[in-house]
Structure 1
Amino acid sequence: MPQFINIVWYFVSILLIFIIMIQNPKAEGAGVTNQILTSDSNIKKRIVKTTWFLIIIFLILTGIFAHFNIIY
């Protein structure tokens, strides 16, 4: 079970990094996706909600790791 939680934790952290990089309007690495995202406010709202959801999941998993002293 701890390995599954660890895999989910890594997956969430990578997704969180990717989502945050997409949100940065000055990022040159995002390229065309940045132009698409700035045109529709509904997409922006979904990305912001997804970011907060991933942050909450990441913090909960980090708390579980700290509480049970799971070290990887």
Structure 2
Amino acid sequence: MPRPRHHLLEHRQEPYGSHGSNRLDLLCSSFANILNKRGVPLPTIQKLMRHSKVETTMIYIETREEEMREAINLVG
């Protein structure tokens, strides 16, 4: 199975808000965030994005302050 095209651009990735960031990064980020918000486990998202390291997948996932508060409330 061929690798997704975003792997061809890994060496050129820039921070999301920077000048020159591309649509493919935005698409990958949107894909990862939609899955994450729907409760798909991080290792599954990693496999779908064909990343060898979960740290690479985490680059694409945004953590909202509201989600962090909800997580803290689960423990206390």
Does TM, normalized by the shorter one, top 0.5?
no
Where is the helix percentage greater, Structure 1 or Structure 2? 1
Between 1 and 2, higher relative CO (CA 8 Å, sep ≥ 6) is seen in 1
| Coarse TM-score class (shorter-chain normalised) | 0.3 to 0.5
